[in-house]
Every structure is written in structure tokens, then in C-alpha cells.
Amino acid sequence: MSTVAVVGGTGPQGKGLAYRFARGGHDVILGSRDGGRAAQAADELAARLGGRGGTVTGAVNAEATTKAQVALLAVPFTGHDVLVASLAAELADKVVISCVNPIGFDRHGPHGLELGGTSAAETAQALLPDSAVVGAFHHLSAVSLNGDADLLDHEDVLVCGDDQEAKQTVMELAATITGKPGIDAGALRLARQLEPLTAVLISINKRYKVRSGLAIHGVSGS
């Protein structure tokens, strides 16, 4: 079991993933730009867990990432680069997970933002040359993560990255959410396809008034 820092852990996605990681036995530190906000979110989560699983504490982002072996970036794409760059020293030699979806909305609905041949995860990797960045958890909705289901076992977590060991760590972490390891989806550059795919899921959700997810058929053990 490792200690996982969640940068932006006061938001619905970070909090939802933190809840699942902690239920799975990992210690979690919710990070925030504001220590008080982090502590409040951690108290809420700890109360919900009622002593089950790992510990949940709160700290400012830099302190949270210093204390953890694995860090999850769960912040909006706006402001992402400045924040990530500011944490380069704290995140060095660590596994850094990005679930960041650069998505825009206009009169035609949701769409992936045009990033000029890169992705949020690759941008993070460029800003964090001494970290192993892995893309994962893009397609799990915060509502499901914060819901009451024991496991989101009807969904798969697609994991992309260039460091095989880091990817393996994240695939195992995914089992705390779906009950099975995440699926190795390939190199980090495939985040360019995985991140905007979320716009398709949001579009389906709006059209059918559902909360759609992603499941891959035909992979042994998935």
C-alpha cells in the first residue's frame, strides 16, 4: 500500500478517486491551494470512511506531494501548467497520474480542446522531466466515484504511459475502483486520444440522460 497525494483533492473528481483509493487501503493526502480547505475535505472523507481503509488527511499541494510516493493531478486544465511546474521538485522521482481532460463546450456540445499535437498528460511530463507521468481515470465520472456502489466493476480504466513500472503501479491502483487491474492502453502519447474521448461520453450522457462509462471486451482478465 502506498501513500497517494491528490493535487486538487477538494474537487469532485479528486475527492471521488481519493475515496476509492482510501477504501482500497491506501493512505491518501488531499491537496489544495488552501490548507484549511484540504483539511475540511479530508475530515468529510474520513467521516464517510468511518475507520475503513487507509487514512485521509489534508495539506497544501506542495506538502501533500512531498509526503506521497504517488500523486494524482485532479485539477482543471486551466491553470494546470503553472501549478504542475510549481510542484516539479516535490514530484521528482515519483509516479504522477493525470486524469485531466482538456474539454471545451460550445453550442454543439462538449469537444476535446485542440492542443497542437500534445495532451494534458504529455504537457505534465514535459514540465516534470524527473517524474514518470501516467494517464488514467479520464473516463470515470465523479458522480459514480462518489456514489455508493462498492465497485465500479462494469467499467475499465485505460492506462497510458512510457514507464512500464509506473504504469503497472497505476494499473494496480485502478483495482481499488473497478475490482480489476487497469488496462495497459499504450504509450503516453495516446492520452491525445483518451482525454478528448471523455467529450464523447459527456455527449452520450446528455443525449440519453445516463452516466456512461467505458468497458473493453476481449482483454483477458478485464
Chain positions 63 to 122 lying near ligand NAP, rule: CB under 6 A, are 74-79, 83, 99-101
The residue among 1 and 143 lying less far from ligand NAP, judged by its C-beta, is 143
Q: What angle do CA 60, 10, 112 make, to 5 degrees?
A: 110
28 is a site residue for ligand NAP (CB under 6 A): no
Alpha-carbon distance 53 to 142, whole Å?
20
- What backbone torsions phi and psi does residue 74 show, to the nearest 5 degrees? -130, 55
130 contacts ligand NAP (rule: CB under 6 A): no
CA–CA gap between residue 198 and residue 196 (Å, rounded):
5
Cβ closest to ligand NAP, residue 147 vs residue 179: 147
Tell me the window of 48-56, 136-144, 156-164, 182-190 that interacts with ligand NAP (CB under 6 A).
136-144
Beta strands 158-161 and 56-60, pairing class: unpaired
- Residue among 95 and 201 whose Cβ is closer to ligand NAP: 201
Binders of ligand NAP among 159-188, rule CB under 6 A?
none
The beta strand positions in the chain, using DSSP E, are 3-7, 27-32, 56-60, 70-73, 95-98, 103-106, 109-112, 132-135, 158-161, 183-186
For residue 74, the minimal CB distance to ligand NAP (Å) is 4
Site pattern 31..70 for ligand NAP (x: CB under 6 A):
-xxx--x---------------------------------
CB of 154 to ligand NAP, least distance (A): 16
Q: What are phi and psi of 160, to 5 degrees?
A: -125, 145
- What is the number of alpha carbons within 13 Å of residue 204 lying toward its C-beta? 12
**Contact with ligand NAP (CB under 6 A) among 3, 6, 10, 57:** 10
CA 214 – CA 197 distance, rounded (Å): 10
By CB under 6 A, name the binding residues for ligand NAP.
8, 10-14, 32-34, 37, 74-79, 83, 99-101, 138, 141-142
